[in-house]
Amino acid sequence: MTLSELAGKTAPQSLLTNIPRLVAHYYETRPLASDPLQRVAFGTSGHRGTSLAGTFNEAHILAVSQAVAEHRAAQGIAGPLYMGYDTHALSEPAWMTALQVLVANGVRVRVQPGVFTPTPLVSHAILEHNRRGNDGTADGIVITPSHNPPQDGGFKYNPPSGGPADTDVTKVVQARANQILEDELRDVQRVSLEDAMAGLEEFDFITPYVEQLPTVIDLDAIKQSGVHIGVDPLGGASLQVWQAIQARYGLNLDIVNTIIDPSFAFMSVDRDGKIRMDCSSPYAMAGLLRLKDDFDVAIGNDPDSDRHGIVTADGLMNPNHYLAVMIEYLFQNRPGWRPDAAIGKTLVSSALIDRVGAGIGRKVVEVPVGFKYFVSGLLDGSFGFGGEESAGASFLRMDGGAWSTDKDGIIPGLLAAEMTAKTGKTPSQRFADLTAKYGVTAYDRQDAPATPDQKKILGSLSPEQVTATTLGGDPITAKLTRAPGNNEPIGGLKVTTDQAWFAARPSGTEDVYKIYAESFKGADHLKQVMDEARDVVGAALGGQ
């Protein structure tokens, strides 16, 4: 991908979204149910789109909220539904629409009016309610497109397990929502906004989350050490959570940016010239990086706070690197966890995690892309940790109980401060120790063109279609189209050797496929692996 000349610079006026126009389109544009691009489509993180393209409009939210209400009734989910939303411009209008439909259907909706509510706080609230085992079973909704650009909106349903819904749920909800769209919303039940606001149950998401943080993080050690922490919420929903943490625990913590602006005009531009609140991107995180020497450790979160970015004096850590650091530290500093608690990783996360797992004597379970694959393990304690290469992770409480079963960008940030306080080394220094022990890793991700037919073929390959026997000069040890940890289809291909691997997956939104690759033999070898990966995939596609 070509680096934009704007990358890392403050967004110019020409890039900013016209918020009134965006919101007007949310209410006025009617999506075409006959257009596949304008139908409800649940990906790994719910339904996403923009009102400007007819892909995230009031009609979508009316339909999907009605579908969720019907699903709850069919499943006997009779407890409260906890609903949060982030700081994207379309999130609050969609929150209000969903509230009108849910209340009309007799759903007890628990919200914190006037307060943005991050994804991990919704997951935490669901689990806390269901742990108590009374007042019915609870579930939740988060209105967020995560780190996506300002013009985007998103809708995510979390069932009683507290984490992202699996396909057995999303397929049902998606099909019913599209049927409702096709029937011109005739089956949607809806009350006025005034009646909806009168019918909601007000709930404080922040206080119980913040007060229970000592069950998952050693905050006393952080406070006593005086570790200086910087926080940039990137204009997101974590701002009030960090303010509450600061007030409650008296940490040496500075919030460097308190701006909430739905145009995200304060952001520095991402690599491709778009405004994107990606806390794993050094370009999007340029503002915090300029302050890296002012803090022992600094933390960034995306708008719904399910991702983390860790900055030290050495710069922004690669997400894969910090996953490995967290795993190595946690499994040696959480004696209350089950001795057989495993490490959950996605198949495009670093192989350094496998080496760390072997070194500390813990099983590594490799699953397809999608945090939903970690939910059951985090819920029952069989996974101590689950993490994705895209800077999403969660882990257990100190006693081995579930904290959140969705990605939580706040606790990885606090963990960076804990490990700095207790070991005297920053996460980047601890990563240097890991590479000295397990090897230096080079990692990259690139896109390659692919037609819709080629993407379909790639998504359904069999290992036998891969004829190559070597990769980067080393014998191929595995050709995978199913994840070794749970035998689920990976929707693509992964090829491994003892010193490198690559994975190729079709994009769900663009005419490209994504190639991930890693080598323990350096950058030149990584380039060779990446080049050969294109050839291997091309041959497997058979020239289609």
User: Known catalytic residues?
Assistant: 146
In which element (H, E) is residue 323 found? Answer: helix 319-333
Q: Residue 231 has which token pair?
A: 């926080």
Q: Residue 513 has which token pair?
A: 């496929």
The residue written with tokens 């719910």 in the block is 46
Distance CA 69, CA 72 (A): 5
Distance CA 64, CA 76 (A): 18
Q: Residue 493 has which token pair?
A: 């291909």
Q: Residue 369's CB: how many other CB atoms inside 10 A?
A: 22
Residue type for 463, please?
P
Give the closest residue to 312 by CA, choosing from 289, 281, 286, 330. Answer: 289
Half-sphere exposure of 4 (CA within 13 A, CB side): 17
CA 485 to chain centre: 20
Q: Residue 453 has which token pair?
A: 């037919």
The residue written with tokens 């996974």 in the block is 383
Q: Three-state SS across 17-66?
A: CCHHHHHHHHHHCCCCCCCHHHCCCEECCEEEEEHHHCCCCHHHHHHHHH
3-state secondary structure of 330: helix
